[in-house]
Structure 1
């Protein structure tokens, strides 16, 4: 369903709003409507005359040093996000049959199965399959 700033219940275009596109900015990664980039002031030739590019988050006209700086910033952010994901990993309780401990990661939130048991979190532990 199209996205609306009021709710997903209402289709885009309601309340006199223009249709909102779901495409993302190539530079900042936000939806085009939430793009945090400024318009590109790089001069381009259009219709025989020179005008400014005017595209928000234009990758084509970034200077090499700006592109490298952006890559380094995003690499550092990605490393920090990966470290946080590893920090949030938690071990399961040992399996009642074999004693194996699995790691609950945010990439794979389950289900965790072992010897006919299902891991239902720290509160409930391992539950025999068919009894939940």
Structure 2
């Protein structure tokens, strides 16, 4: 999301864990807020678009940073519209596969204009622990499943 927003010309505020701050900065975020040490809702304001990947209390705190016409898009809270305070706009963001867009993204990664960081590659036998590491926080990047292992 950071890279796509920067490509679109946005000023990007991002939250990250302490161990991921440098990674998110390297992706191009203008401001990175370490959520383990700082309260993003006290440091960011007047944000036009918030993308919520977490839900719960993070979603609830995110309303406060929106600009008057801002939108909060959540992939984590299907009830985002119902949770929107009066005067605020929330949308549920669901993504449908788009092979043409995926091909473009793959080409952007291949030519280096888009970064994709792989934290680890696991085989099927290691899938359950990898999912748990992903859920509880892991090294920056994606965990990739290799079914040939």
TM-score class, shorter-chain normalisation, is under 0.3
TM-score for the superposition, normalised by structure 1: 0.22
Give the structure with the higher percent strand.
Answer: 2
Higher relative contact order (CA 8 A, sep 6+): 2
Q: What TM-score results when the alignment is normalised by the length of structure 2?
A: 0.20
Higher helix share: 2
Q: Work out which of the two has the higher radius of gyration on C-alpha atoms and give 1 or 2.
A: 1
